[in-house]
Amino acid sequence: MRITPSPQRLALIAVLLASFGLAEPVHAALPTADAAGTPLPSLAPMLERVTPAVVNIHSQQVQRVRNPLAEDPFLRRFFGIPDMPQERVRQSLGSGVIVDADSGLVLTNNHVIEGADDISVTLADGRTLVAELVGSDPDTDVALVRVAAENLVALPLADSKALRVGDFVVAVGNPFGLGQTVTSGIVSALGRNGLRGLGYQNFIQTDASINPGNSGGALVNLRGELIGINSAIFSPSGGNIGIGFAIPASLANEVMRQLLAYGEVRRGNLGVATQDITPELADVLALGAQSRGALVARVETGSPAEQAGVRVGDVITQLDDQPVLDRAALHNIEGLLPVGKPIRIGVNRDGKPLRLKAVLKARPKELAGDALDPRLSGALFAEIPERLRQGGVTGVVVSKVERGSRAAINGMRAGDLITAIGRRRIDGLSSLQSLADAAPRELALQVTRGQRAGVLLMQ
């Protein structure tokens, strides 16, 4: 027997719900579809708009294979091995998201297409297209490819900053090469970083199932807007355990903008060298409860930090309203902020909080040895990849050494990792320049070359 409440009872229920704040519209409510006259929750209407914009990406890389037998002429003739390099084709499967239908722009992960000789994109309607690599940024694991086709469907980008823990999300991709697959979940956490082996990090964490092959696919809200690019999973076994990570759409969009404008990503540089605050430092500097932050050890001349009024001994606690817990967090936030953007710096100076303003400058990617010290002439120095830095590697790498140059005569080689000058550690190009500016009488470089480490005296 079915009981129908009277209009008076329904009105009373509505008043009670309103009094508890339960009558407000639920913005993340599931769409509905009628089935035999009964409304049932379903994601199908939204997915009908989303899935045509999610593609499968197939990449191939031709690798030369070294056969030890082929190195010996006698063995080569004895076994009949052809005197030509052998090749092996390495294939990779992943996903991508069309974000501009008119220009055919597709966002994906750098690790999906890294080193690829050929890239192809398969659309949801079955068409397979040759893709052109526009550019990539290994440090954020974002890549941009372009396809030429008509009747493409693109996803609109949501404001990632409006995302909240607990929001419903849906992941669409191509796990294990099975074909387009949809999983759902919620936002588990925001602003995740500190994952080993990855570069600049500001991940959305979700419990929506993300597996190998989902990389580069779409993470969308219930309105069908792109909120993230699926990037990584955390799993001891290599499969999904309910912890997946996505690059925020706002960050991916900024990387795309710079790749289109400059062909590369220009990272912001505040111009400070910092160190973590230990309990001993906190006592010496009388920081009291202020044990979190990055202690400024050096301010570069002419840097945004110097122009903003940052001083040695300041503790940076915030950057652009984001909390700075330690030195690594400052470096991560600094690298994710766009160049030329006005930012606010929160510092603690002599126990008092201050708010300073600065405009980030582009971080130099290379420095010529000639501009540092005559003894380094002919060498070109570059920042180490951010993924190595996240793994604890510090210093600068020698990217090039001219034959017959003073650096080459002194024994420097391309690929050398310079970790210190004398006993002073090098964090990057800025600290290399600062130490070289001091014009040390003896230029003794601590160098790591392959599995060996030693001192290189430049004369």
Phi, psi torsion values for 342, nearest 5 degrees: -65, 135
Which of the following is catalytic: 92, 95, 111, 331? 111
Q: pLDDT at residue 17 above 60?
A: no
Among 66-80, 235-249, 276-290, 355-369, the range of highest mean pLDDT: 355-369
- What is the percentage of the chain residues whose pLDDT exceeds 70? 81
pLDDT attached to residue 81: 61
| Band of residue 452 on the pLDDT scale cut at 50, 70, 90 | confident
pLDDT digits (tens, 9 = 90+) for 214-223: 889 999 999 9
pLDDT attached to residue 187: 94
Q: What's the mean pLDDT in 411-416?
A: 90
pLDDT attached to residue 221: 94
**Which residue type is seen at 154?**
A
Q: What's the mean pLDDT in 226-255?
A: 81
pLDDT attached to residue 70: 58
Active site residue 141: yes
Burial tier of 339 (Cβ tally within 10 Å: 0-12, 13-18, 19+): middle
CA angle, corner 327, sides to 421 and 296, nearest 5? 70
Q: What's the mean pLDDT in 86-102?
A: 82
| Band of residue 63 on the pLDDT scale cut at 50, 70, 90 | low
Q: Please tell me whether the overall predicted TM-score, pTM, comes out greater than 0.85 for this model.
A: no
Which of the following is catalytic: 188, 215, 430, 434? 215
Active site residue 215: yes
Which residue has tokens 């009964």? 38
pLDDT attached to residue 78: 61
List the one residue out of 250, 234, 235, 164 whose CA is nearest residue 194: 234
Active site residue 111: yes
pLDDT attached to residue 40: 77
Q: What is the pLDDT of the chain when averaged over all its residues? A: 81
Q: What's the mean pLDDT in 142-157?
A: 93
Side-chain half-sphere exposure of 314, counting CA atoms within 13 A: 23
Q: Which domains does the chain have, with CATH numbers?
A: 46-265 (2.40.10.120), 268-362 (2.30.42.10), 366-458 (2.30.42.10)
Which of the following is catalytic: 58, 59, 136, 141? 141
Separation of alpha carbons 443 and 451, rounded Å = 23
Least confident of 11-15, 137-141, 157-161, 186-190: 11-15
Q: pLDDT at residue 35 above 80?
A: no
pLDDT digits (tens, 9 = 90+) for 163-172: 999 999 999 9
pLDDT attached to residue 24: 45
